[in-house]
Amino acid sequence: MNRTAARSGHFGAWQLCAAGLLCCAAAHGADEATIPDLTGVWMIDNAPTALHPTPGSAVPLTGWGHTQFEHNQAMRVKGDLSFDLAATQCASPGAVRMMTLPYRMEIFQRPYQVTLLFEWNHLYRLINTRGYAMQAPYPMAIGISNGHWEDKTLVVKTTSLTGNTQLDSSGLPHSDDLEVTERFRLDGPSWLTDVVTVHDPKAFSRDWSVTLRYHKVAASGLSEDICLDRIDVGQPAFPRALD
Amino acid sequence: MSRRRMRRGVVGCIRRRVFTVMAVCQFGLLTGYAVAAEPLALDFTQVPIPKLELRAGDSLDPLPADAPMPSSDPRNFEGLWVGLGAKRSVDGSPPPYLPVVRAELQRLMDLDRRGQPTVAKGTLCRPGTMLDIGINQFPTQILQRPGEILFIAEEGRSIWRVFMDRPHPTTVKPSLSGDHVGHWEANTLVIDSIGFKATPIQIFGGGNSSALHVTTRMTRANTGDKRNGDRIVISRVIDDPKFYSHPWTQVAVARWRPDLQMLEFNCEESPPAVAAEGLTVQ
């Protein structure tokens, strides 16, 4: 499938977009003039190694999910992290786990797209807010993210995710049925909340949510980080993480 | 090899670089693009803007009829642009490699001809030192705001952050990304880039010393055809006295593609493919 086939082909909402000059955010019920600006450099607060549903309770693993999790845990105990391609090879940690890393994240907000730049291994996520859904040409670790504004909340649905990443640094598995819905909302000028809802009927018996909080940090951009350079000299892929 | 594999695998990275070289070689055929052989004083007003013969293909798809136009401000580069290829140098001559560099390139090519393709350790799945907007056929996202223009390339997840409001720091910590400052000359964005980490000579192109100094000039150009899309015409003067006998200029063109979004570059996911494909990492 070529790239053009990957888009929806619906361009009506584009007419006014004009590369950010005019506001055409996919604002479902949102007042475009009052859409909050998420722009800035953010750092996660109390970066979680293991995700737990909000409020605190056990992750509702299915039998398949439990087996996968036990497998990952057993391998970790043996010092075998081969299941974790991010930790061993610097592969993309996936759309959810990258939001949990204790590294800075820079957000650029435009009417047509919200761009998330991650300091760890110079990753990016792109949230399409053009007003029509982008389709992924193939599954990706970051999937394809389509978002719209509901009042002051950016609602993002991420699909087309590969099954070979984990949801967190503890080895929490998911399948390639995973779909993630995130609700980004500013809490005052210095705090950003991302409520992540996980839908994966193969791995979890019900949908569950976790709340991630970020605080704004003073920074002009992000430092260069090349994960493979660390691997080449025997250092961990995530020197700041607890794994 | 599927496009998915090409996107995700290390071998895909390498093959994509081969593709890039091919694109470089084919640039003239694609665009009929030609410029005067004056490497350091390129006059963009004299550059004919290529109006492509559109056909199915990543770079040459006609834009949707209702696709938005880029900003009417010639100093606004915001949006997604896809490379159409580059001339390897303005006058068509090969890069003026120093003999020692040419000899190493010849050695790598000889290994390749003998079925022993080699890649340099420390280069796989890393961002390139050069901003390849227009050079290869993958997208580059430009984000522009007062004081700063950010280039994010899908290929290699390379990032150039161009500061419009400060000079280079007195001391620059070398990095693959380098340090970039920009200014306007009329409506041409001029980017001065230094502070690069040295990278080894590679058969697919690339390699530089820490003395690399790049001057990139970018100018918006209107083809006058909405389905064809606007262009950015790019020239870059590459000055690296440890690699080249004199500065040389490369010229490229990028095409406005608001209908696309960058995909994932997850080269790190499958390094075992290097061994599987018989590649040697030196």
pLDDT digits (tens, 9 = 90+) for A178-236: 999 999 999 998 999 999 999 999 999 999 999 999 999 997 779 999 999 999 899 99
Measure the CA–CA gap between B251 and B35, rounded to whole angstroms: 9
pLDDT on residue A77: 92
- CATH number of A192's domain: 2.40.128.20
A10 in reach of chain B (CB within 8 A): no
Using a CB-CB cut-off of 8 Å, the residues of chain A touching B157 are 121-124
Q: Is residue A242 part of a domain?
A: no
Share of chain A above pLDDT 70, in %: 85
What the block records as the tokens of A31 is 């007042």
Q: Is residue A239 part of a domain?
A: no
Q: State the pTM of this model.
A: 0.86
With an 8 Å Cβ cutoff, are A20 and B152 in contact? no
Is this complex scored with an ipTM above 0.85?
yes
How many structural domains comprise chain B? 1
B113-132: buried (b, 16+ CB within 10 Å) or exposed (e) per residue?
Answer: eeeebbbbeebbbbbbbbbb
- CATH number of B75's domain: 2.40.128.20
A97 to chain B, closest Cα gap in Å: 15
Using a CB-CB cut-off of 8 Å, the residues of chain A touching B220 are none
With an 8 Å Cβ cutoff, are A2 and B56 in contact? yes
Which residue of chain A is at minimal alpha-carbon distance from B139?
A3
The number of helices, as runs of H, and strands, as runs of E, in chain A is 3, 9
Which residue of chain A is at minimal alpha-carbon distance from B258?
A19
With an 8 Å Cβ cutoff, are B71 and A229 in contact? no
- Residue of A122, A144, A162 to mutate when probing chain B, most B C-beta within 10 A: A122
With an 8 Å Cβ cutoff, are A9 and B268 in contact? no
Domain housing B195: 3-41+58-261
3-state DSSP call for residue A206? coil
A14 in reach of chain B (CB within 8 A): yes
Using a CB-CB cut-off of 8 Å, the residues of chain B touching A136 are 263
Q: Is residue A80 part of a domain?
A: yes
B96 contacts: CB under 8 Å, gap ≥ 6: B244, B245, B246, B248
Q: Is residue B111 part of a domain?
A: yes
Tens digit of pLDDT per residue, chain B (282 long)? 333 433 433 333 333 333 232 233 233 323 323 232 333 344 444 455 555 566 666 667 888 888 888 999 999 999 999 988 766 667 778 889 999 999 999 998 898 888 888 888 778 889 988 888 888 888 999 999 999 999 999 989 999 999 999 999 999 999 999 999 999 999 999 999 999 999 998 877 779 999 999 999 999 988 778 888 889 999 999 999 999 999 998 888 899 999 888 999 998 987 655 654 667 777
pLDDT on residue B278: 66
A3 in reach of chain B (CB within 8 A): yes
With an 8 Å Cβ cutoff, are B122 and A128 in contact? no
List the single range of A37-46, A66-75, A133-142, B36-45 with lowest mean pLDDT.
Answer: B36-45
B113 contacts: CB under 8 Å, gap ≥ 6: none
H or E element that contains B8: helix B3-8
pLDDT on residue B274: 60
Q: What is the CA radius of gyration of chain B?
A: 18
Does residue A42 surpass a pLDDT of 50?
yes
Does residue A144 surpass a pLDDT of 70?
yes
Using a CB-CB cut-off of 8 Å, the residues of chain A touching B258 are 14, 17, 19, 112
B111 vs A41, higher pLDDT: A41
pLDDT on residue B2: 34
Residue B59's closest CA among B81, B26, B86, B79?
A: B81
Which residue of chain B is at minimal alpha-carbon distance from A222?
B161
Q: Is residue B46 part of a domain?
A: no
Q: Is residue B118 part of a domain?
A: yes
Domain housing A157: 4-232
Does residue A241 surpass a pLDDT of 60?
no
- Nearest by CB to B78, which of A2, A20, A121? A20
Query: What is the 3-state secondary structure of A99-146?
Result: HHCCCEEEEEECCCEEEEEECHHHEEEEEECCCCCCCCCCCECCCEEE
How many structural domains comprise chain A? 1
Using a CB-CB cut-off of 8 Å, the residues of chain A touching B57 are 2
